[in-house]
Amino acid sequence: MLAASLLALWLSWAAQAIPGPTSSGGRLAVRSQLDSLPAGFKIHNLAVLPDELIRLTFAIPQANVSGLHAALLDVSDPASPNYGRHLSKQEVEQHVAPRSESVRALNEWLNSHGVTPAAPSASRSMINVRMPVKQANTLLDADFAMYIHEDTNTTMMRTLSYSLPESLYDHVNLVYPTTQFLPPVARSAPIVRSPDRRRSKRTDADVPPTCEEVTTPRCLQALYNIPATPASATNNSLYVSGFGGQVASQDDLQDFLSRYRPDVQATFDVLPVNGASVDGDGTDEAVRKPTFCIPPRPEQLFRTSTSSTLSV
């Protein structure tokens, strides 16, 4: 009895004394672990070759997401002096860029294992690497294998757990693909209607019955709950793009408003883009855009040349 107790005590001490897995970045700690396979997945009998390459993406925490949210709200607030001064792509990337010490710590750890990262994403918050599966298993203390999603018969390489050095815990959000068992997104089948099938009548009390035959501003207001009262914010403008030789007409606009929105007094300016001409009679498409979009606020129609790819 005494011998059994001493043996149990020694085994307990030995288990505590044996260090966990380590890497050159320090002791490894489990970052993500699944107790069982998610529903709909099963292990595949297709073996993973040790030299098979796997592409891993390390997601680094973005340093100033709250600052980005504040900046977006600021430029969207009509009361702000920065209203309408939308952020450039570079300004957005500066807000979501990670801390330099996080990028340095991850790169140093990868380099110490002979892994050279590819070029990072524009904001540097994603770092991609390619390595043999055998090396990935060692680096992350993982066990990559092939799994299959039964409903779609889709195979994917995943692991039920992976680890990172404790020193990287604050510098890496996640590694993908590892424990992310996400069902493939099924594309919806196209809806095919019989040629003689008629649309069912809407039952909305506020939608005029004539909207089944013709669309007017009143229809759009009822269908999409668009307020009929004029916009009151100052310094607002609505920009409408015109492509492929489309020309808007002031006369057509006034005729449309007199019929459907006599309460609205509105006009628009035409701004040529990329050398486009602003002359010509009104065309249906160009007339519909400004008239249906009347808030009412001052409008400006961007008139582009046929080869222009401007989108507003």
pLDDT of residue 236: 66
Whether residue 175 contacts residue 136, with contact meaning beta carbons closer than 8 Å, is answered with no
Q: What is the CA radius of gyration of the chain?
A: 31
Cα distance between residue 213 and residue 169, in whole Å: 61
> b/e per residue, 44-56, with b = 16+ CB within 10 A?
eeeebeeeeebeb
Cα distance between residue 303 and residue 248, in whole Å: 9
Crossing angle of helices 217-224 and 284-293, in 10° steps, is: 50
How many residues does this entry show for the chain? 312
Q: Are strands 299-304 and 238-242 parallel, antiparallel or unpaired?
A: parallel
Per-residue pLDDT of the chain (312 residues; tens, 9 = 90+): 434 443 343 334 333 433 445 555 578 899 999 999 999 999 998 888 888 999 999 999 988 888 899 999 998 999 999 898 898 888 888 888 888 899 999 999 999 999 988 877 877 888 999 999 999 999 999 999 999 999 888 999 999 999 999 999 899 999 999 999 998 876 655 555 555 544 444 455 677 777 777 777 778 778 777 776 766 666 666 666 666 566 667 777 777 777 777 777 777 777 676 666 656 555 555 555 555 555 555 455 544 444 333 333
Cα distance between residue 83 and residue 92, in whole Å: 16
Cα separations (Å) of 7 from 12, 15, 17, 160? 9, 12, 15, 33
pLDDT of residue 42: 93
pLDDT of residue 304: 46
pLDDT of residue 6: 36
